[in-house]
Amino acid sequence: MSIKVLHIDSNHPILWQQLEDAGFENHADFKSSKEEIEAKIQDYNGIVIRSRFKIDKTFLDKATNLQFIARVGAGLESIDCDYAESKGIHLIAAPEGNRNAVAEHSLGVILSLFNNLNQANAEIKSGQWNRESNRGHELDGKTVGIIGYGNMGKAFAKKLRGFDVEVIFYDILENIADENARQVSLQELQQKANVLSLHLPWTPETDKMVNANFINAFAKPFWIINTSRGKNIVTADLVAAMKSKKILGAGLDVLEYEKLSFETLFQDKNTPEAFQYLLEAKNVLLTPHIAGWTFESHERLAQVIVDKIKAVYSK
């Protein structure tokens, strides 16, 4: 029997081609609404998505023949995973596919913030030549704290090996240290870190984790990098900490205000006050959820997904 796969987001063409070569029957629908997809999902054995809409209980109840859900990305938070697994549906993600991209992006953000590259570039282009106000900091001798030591956190720690820094991490899993970083308690990380880099999924436990109490628990002023999920940080509390100089700078690839589909920046037409501050602050670097979005990772993500789908049917 042919395995029918519905692709509801565009991806690198190798994903489609290699599935076809392996005998899968591909169908594409990049424009229909969630309700329209639900009306026909019973005809499909697999679905390939990025982030167009949530796959919730309603969707899964209509997907009576679904055998796998493949998300071309790192996280599965847009899927009701427990309910899908209760129906015997295989859940596939590809954090291996863009971990290197995220690691390189994180490193670039730190170096840019430390050396005021974004600010200096803007000033030069507007005719200003300000050397003293753009005096930078060196990463050498600093302590970098990573929260979340999965694919992304480990890849970032590996990139830091070329610098004379101490790399420490906190994770809810125990005994996962390697040669690139030392595992510590959250309290020790908050005592020692000069830089905090978040590499977490968005879960009920991590939602709004970086709030005023969390920030104030740090012993020293610090820089913060977030390439994980925007809702892991309370933006208003981040801004308050920047105003008080507890946070020295922020590199944010993800925002609390992102819509799930990333089609527009805000949930409504009003710019939140805290975000307005970030837009104007010189020690803030903002990017549109592109840390894992390189040309290389685009192909690598697709290849990982193809390999994992084929593995499901080779057992």
Q: Which residues are catalytic?
A: 229, 258, 289
User: How is residue 142 annotated by DSSP?
Assistant: -
Rounded CA separation 308/90 (Å): 10
**Identity of the residue numbered 224:** I
Q: Residue 100: in which H helix or E strand, if any?
A: helix 95-114
Residues with Cβ < 8 Å from 187, sequence gap 6 or more?
Answer: 217
How deeply is 114 buried, as exposed, middle or buried, from its count of CB atoms within 10 A (0-12, 13-18, 19+)? middle
Rounded CA separation 224/234 (Å): 13
Tell me which residue has tokens 């990380």.
Answer: 189
Rounded CA separation 232/226 (Å): 9
What are residue 251's phi and psi, to 5 degrees? -115, 110
Tell me which residue has tokens 């005809």.
Answer: 43
